[in-house]
Amino acid sequence: MLNKLRKAIDEKGCAIGTFLGVSTPPIVEILGYTGMDFVIIDTEHGPYDTMPACDLIRAADGMGMSPIVRVAGVTHKEIQRAVDNGAEGIIIPCLRETEEFRKAVDLCKFPPVGNRGFLKARGSGFGNAEWAQGSLEEFMSRSNEKALLLPQCETMEALENIEEIVNIDGIDGIFIGPFDLSISMGIPGQFDAPQFRQAVARVLKACKDAGKLCMIFSTSVEAAKGYRQEGFDAVANSIDTLMFKKVYQDMMEEIRDWQPST
């Protein structure tokens, strides 16, 4: 199987990963020793241009983790560079109109599904990877398998049309952004509100019914466990920026508050 995220989901039921907002390649290598399945390189909010993102993709690949890139928008430059450089999943934020989801397919997938621009770039070992051999038709079809298109559902407009969106050919799954979705619904951060729970259940059901993947961001291990229980295919828990602070803060408090015996 060409895609490590899909392989992890097939083998484990639920893949577990995290967002990278400030990490460098050696940090990604350290994460690789935790057994993490994927990392999301956040070029929407993080300070990563194309080459640093490429270095993080390489580091994740080297540790057997699936490199997923959150791009900043549904534009040719954003999506083409991410897929060409070897992203195994493309997450696109803040989409509203169903037409924007169709445009994402057009940019991310080769014909006959979309109209991605052709080059055997880094993601295919510049055409030298074993899977990139064979006819051009085979290359395009395998490339479509390798790079999953996982646009976000995080606006009311997307939520209202989610059943139609998940059935668009070329969309491999949906990534729920709880913060933006709850803000868009007028209930910011109220993840336990019945209205919000119903929205999440609706997206999950739509994905399951259409045979598409459903992923979500969580901010605590308890929430992540809940999403696993509900049947999510993948959970991205927390962000490196938050985790660094938490781990070192816990360490500081424990050492500082401990009283040496006199």
Distance CA 45, CA 10 (A): 30
Q: Which is nearer to ligand 3PY, 59 or 235 (CB)?
A: 235
Distance CA 117, CA 77 (A): 10
8 Å CB contact between 56 and 48: yes
Q: Which is nearer to ligand 3PY, 143 or 218 (CB)?
A: 218
**Is 46 among the residues that bind Mg ion (CB under 5 A)?**
no
Measured from the CB of residue 211, what is the shortest distance to Mg ion in angstroms?
25
Measured from the CB of residue 175, what is the shortest distance to ligand 3PY in angstroms?
7
8 Å CB contact between 80 and 58: no
Site string for Mg ion, 146-185 (x = CB under 5 A): --------x----------------------x--x-----
- Of 136, 179, 201, 253, the one binding ligand 3PY (CB under 6 A) is 179
Residues 44-103 close enough to bind ligand 3PY by CB under 6 A: 93
The phi and psi torsions of 20 (rounded to 5 degrees) equal: -110, 120
**Is 217 among the residues that bind ligand 3PY (CB under 6 A)?**
yes
Distance CA 12, CA 10 (A): 6
Distance CA 190, CA 182 (A): 7
Neighbours of 13 (CB within 10 A): 12
100 binds, among ligand 3PY, Mg ion, none (CB under 5 to 8 A by kind): none
- Nearest residue relative to ligand 3PY (C-beta): 177
What one-character DSSP code corresponds to residue 119?
-
**Is 123 among the residues that bind ligand 3PY (CB under 6 A)?**
no
89 binds, among Mg ion, ligand 3PY, none (CB under 5 to 8 A by kind): none
**Is 233 among the residues that bind Mg ion (CB under 5 A)?**
no
As separate numbers, helices (DSSP H) first and strands (DSSP E) second, the chain gives 12, 9
Measured from the CB of residue 143, what is the shortest distance to ligand 3PY in angstroms?
26
Region of 42 (left: φ > 0; alpha: ψ -120 to 50; beta: rest) is: beta
Q: Which is nearer to Mg ion, 93 or 114 (CB)?
A: 93
**Is 178 among the residues that bind ligand 3PY (CB under 6 A)?**
yes
- Of 88, 100, 154, 172, the one binding ligand 3PY (CB under 6 A) is 154
Alpha helices, DSSP H, located in the chain? 4-12, 25-32, 50-62, 76-84, 98-108, 136-146, 156-160, 162-166, 178-184, 194-210, 221-230, 240-257
37 binds, among Mg ion, ligand 3PY, none (CB under 5 to 8 A by kind): none
CB-facing half-sphere around the CA of 61: CA atoms within 13 A: 19
Site string for ligand 3PY, 7-46 (x = CB under 6 A): ----------------------------------------
Which positions lie near ligand 3PY, rule CB under 6 A?
93, 154, 177-180, 217
